[in-house]
Structure 1
Amino acid sequence: MRPAVASWPSATNVEAVMIALNTTVAAFAVGLVASAGIFAILLVTLTTDRQLWPPGEKTRAYYLHWTLVWLFNGSLVTVAVLDWNAWLLPRPGTLFAGVVLAVVGTAVFLRSASVMRSAEMTGVTGELYTGGPYAYSRNPQYVGMIVGIVGAALLVNSVWVAVLAAAHIGWVVLLPRAEEPHLRAAYGEAYEQYTARVPRFVGDHTVRMLIAD
């Protein structure tokens, strides 16, 4: 019986791998650039007198912000598909944890979004919401986004996605800090009382409310 001879990958297979790798790197780079742009918008708002976020109305800053967000989302999905399960996180534990966190985060985000009008969710001035999920957290939609992106990173099991997820969490944490001066100016004492009662993300108040339910 003749010994098995190892076969080298065909030129076609190597070419396909290189194309996938190059596409992954390109998509990852787009995500990083989009994140850098969002960080820049938020830092300008936080450190200067220019209010780029929230814009309050559909200005150029509004369209720039959402263009960057959609570029980031597109890059994240592309990298997730091309680099699926390429890291070293143990399975199936991270797969299960990722699914649970992604589902919970998405549910929290969608429930929070259902309370607001689409304009208010996208940075256009509207009403102050303090009921429903907003009685537990001032920013339940952002809590859902953070939980969901952590779940997605565990589910996909990709170092590229993990880096993009970390960048995403970074600017989501900054979003409410950029929004709060605008909300104080718009809603005055009602917003001050709300901030004194309900945490920015989660806290003791959130836990007590959940236990009471």
Structure 2
Amino acid sequence: MPSYLMYIFDVAVASLVTLNALLLLTIFSRRFKLWPTPAERSWQHYTFWPLFRGGLGLTLLFSILTVGWPEGGPDTWRFLAGMICVVIGFGFTIYGYFDLGIENTYGADEGLVTGGLYRFSRNPQYVASILGFFGTGLANGSAQSAVLCGLAILVYVVLPYTEEPWLERAYGDVYADYKQRTPRFLFL
């Protein structure tokens, strides 16, 4: 594998492992909070966003650049099944931006959204992104892509646990009622 691909892989792994560790620390620590970021110019903002965008973006870049490498091409059925998951997953992720609103997607407090996709899941964008990264790993088929996509999926599994205390403080009983009637993911 060319050195530039290994560099992309290494930076993506480092970003996602660091991000997952900091998110887990946010969940289990009373004092340390990374996400949601408290302010746009906070150290949390300058830490979370580069790790999040860098890790996830490099995962996609690596997976695109290495599809079928070095064999010369991907397995057709696995690739097609993966691409169906990618299109559906990331398609619903993008649709969720419009349902929730761009500012709320990025951690703003512009009101609790409980309609649209949010009737079925408290975190439909995360569910959709999990499907998208699963599809990315499946379409690529390499062990390296599977590792990166697994770390990306873990980010989306952990994020709701960092957000729920903030949502409980911000929306009180309204969020508690929503939480009672709507699953965190789809069926859980």
TM-score w.r.t. structure 2 length? 0.90
Match of 1:47 among 19, 23, 28: 28
Distance between the aligned counterparts of 1:90 and 1:136, measured in 2? 34
**More relative contact order, 1 or 2 (CA 8 Å, 6+ apart):** 2
What residue in structure 1 maps to residue 172 of structure 2? 188
Residue 59 of structure 2 corresponds to residue 76 of structure 1: yes
Unaligned runs of 5+ in 2: none
Match of 2:139 among 155, 158, 167: 155
Cα 1:87–1:122, aligned 2, differ >3 Å: closer, same or farther? farther
Unaligned runs of 5+ in 1: 1-19, 205-213
Distance between the aligned counterparts of 1:107 and 1:95, measured in 2? 17
Amino acid at match of 1:54: P
Match of 2:48 among 65, 80, 84: 65
TM-score w.r.t. structure 1 length? 0.80
Give the Å deviation of 1:44: 2.2
When Rg is computed on C-alpha atoms for both structures, the one with the higher figure is 1
Distance between the aligned counterparts of 2:121 and 2:113, measured in 1? 11
Match of 2:7 among 26, 40, 50: 26
Cα 1:179–1:105, aligned 2, differ >3 Å: closer, same or farther? same
CA RMSD of aligned residues (A): 2.0
Match of 1:136 among 92, 101, 120: 120
Given that 1:24 and 1:78 are in contact with CA atoms closer than 8 Å, whether structure 2 keeps it comes out as: no
Given that 2:74 and 2:139 are in contact with CA atoms closer than 8 Å, whether structure 1 keeps it comes out as: no
Given that 2:126 and 2:156 are in contact with CA atoms closer than 8 Å, whether structure 1 keeps it comes out as: yes
What residue in structure 2 maps to residue 14 of structure 1? none
Misfit runs of 4+, over 4 Å: 87-90
Distance between the aligned counterparts of 2:127 and 2:61, measured in 1? 24
Q: How many positions carry a matched residue from both structures?
A: 185
Given that 1:56 and 1:124 are in contact with CA atoms closer than 8 Å, whether structure 2 keeps it comes out as: no
Cα offsets for 1:32-84 (capped at 9, x unmatched): 11012211321221111232211143122022111112221342233224322
